Amino acid sequence: MQRFLLTVLIFLSLNSSAVTDFGVRARSMAGAYRAVANSNNIIPYNPSGLLKIRRIEIDADFQINQAENYRRIMASAMDSKLSSWGLGLMYIGDIPDANQYPMKHRGFLTSSMPILSDLLALGASWTYFYDPDKNIDDHEHFFNLDAGLLLNTYQGLSLALVLDHLLPKKGREKGMGLSMGMAFDFSPLVHILPLTLATDWIVDNITSDEKLNHTLAVGLEYIALNLIPFRIGISSDFLKDEKVFSIGSGLIIKSFSLDGLFVQNLSVGKNREWGIAARFSF
């Protein structure tokens, strides 16, 4: 059964899901995070990722986007330790500079359940997005549903499959996206090598009648001395012919960690992002 699921997920990875740019840790790996799932940043990427590491966690992120002139605040909490299921909550607010546009709000209510065991998890997220675009007079409130699968193996390989925006779109909302992620953690095989390699292949809107927008992201995370994480990533948007480079580092002290982020658009030099995040895990 496990071999069959592995084969199916690898086949699906040739097709793949929706572009996401939330969270300092995930962005440090260029968004190649759907199968990594080692912080609350996983909530908007893959709801099934809550069960990859059993924990109680509180997260806070702050990002500045120079290109689009906004600041992003994120706050989240999750629990996958006190019961067999996982539950996560996340709030994201986009604050425009100089009050050029109204503030945008996003909310995620996420749950995940094991299928037979934690080796295979199924998750779903109810999502809310408030986008009061004063130049467009249609919908401002958007509700939708995301679903994901995460397969973990004892050898360090993880595979993720995610469908986002499952409900029919309305107004300016995008259509359904499909994404696939793969991550390999070397530490189960080589204990002295705390290195994770990850890749995500993303199709933002598989319902579009136009040319599909594919994005490929590749990321790396190395944790030196169980104390200092180093993350690096690059993503390529094939439709826009655009590449984005990201890098991040931080500090881990027992149950507390602090992380920083820098993102550079390699196609448009003035497009940059900075971020900082704090996390408490129990």
Structural domain harbouring 188: 2-281
Q: Could you tell me the CATH number of the domain that includes residue 33?
A: 2.40.160.60
Residue 132: predicted pLDDT: 82
Q: How many domains does the chain have?
A: 1
Cα separation values, 94 from 71, 78, 120, 164, 199, Å: 6, 22, 34, 20, 27
Residue 135 is classified by DSSP as T
pLDDT tens-digit profile of 222-279? 999 989 999 999 999 988 889 999 999 999 999 999 999 999 999 887 889 999 999 9
CB 178 within 8 A of CB 147: no
Out of 49-53, 96-100, 103-107, 149-153, least confident range: 96-100
Residue 11: predicted pLDDT: 35
pLDDT band at 40, cuts 50/70/90? very high
Query: Long-range contacts: 123-126, Cβ < 8 Å, 24+?
Result: 123/46, 123/47, 123/48, 123/49, 123/50, 123/51, 123/86, 123/147, 123/148, 123/149, 123/150, 124/47, 124/148, 125/43, 125/44, 125/47
CB 193 within 8 A of CB 176: no
| Helix (H/G/I), strand (E/B), else coil: 93 | strand
User: How far is the C-alpha of 18 from the C-alpha of 66, rounded, in Å?
Assistant: 23
Residue 39: predicted pLDDT: 95
153 CB burial (10 A radius; 0-12, 13-18, 19+): middle
Cα separation values, 88 from 26, 39, 49, 73, 255, Å: 16, 11, 10, 17, 18
Greater pLDDT, 69 or 18:
69
Greater pLDDT, 205 or 101:
205
pLDDT band at 135, cuts 50/70/90? low
Residue 252 is classified by DSSP as E
Instruction: Choose among 52, 47, 40, 71: nearest CA to 279.
Output: 40
pLDDT tens-digit profile of 62-119? 999 887 788 999 999 999 999 999 999 999 999 987 666 788 999 999 999 999 899 9
Average confidence (pLDDT) over 52-61: 96
Among all chains, which residue has been given the structure tokens 């920083």? 260
Greater pLDDT, 190 or 99:
190
User: How far is the C-alpha of 20 from the C-alpha of 243, rounded, in Å?
Assistant: 15
Residue 174: predicted pLDDT: 86
The secondary element (H helix, E strand) that includes residue 112 is: strand 104-115
Instruction: Take residue 79 and report the two structure tokens written for it.
Output: 């629990």
Question: What's the mean pLDDT when you consider all of the chain?
Answer: 88
Residue 99: predicted pLDDT: 63
pLDDT band at 20, cuts 50/70/90? low
Average confidence (pLDDT) over 159-171: 92
pLDDT band at 123, cuts 50/70/90? very high
Instruction: Choose among 265, 182, 190, 244: nearest CA to 222.
Output: 190
State the greatest distance between any 2 C-alpha atoms of the chain, in Å, as a whole number. 57
User: How far is the C-alpha of 132 from the C-alpha of 139, rounded, in Å?
Assistant: 8
pLDDT for 16 beyond 60: no
Average confidence (pLDDT) over 53-67: 93
Residue 100: predicted pLDDT: 65
Instruction: Choose among 148, 75, 166, 152: nearest CA to 112.
Output: 148
User: How far is the C-alpha of 95 from the C-alpha of 105, rounded, in Å?
Assistant: 9
Q: How many CB atoms lie within 10 A of CB 45?
A: 29
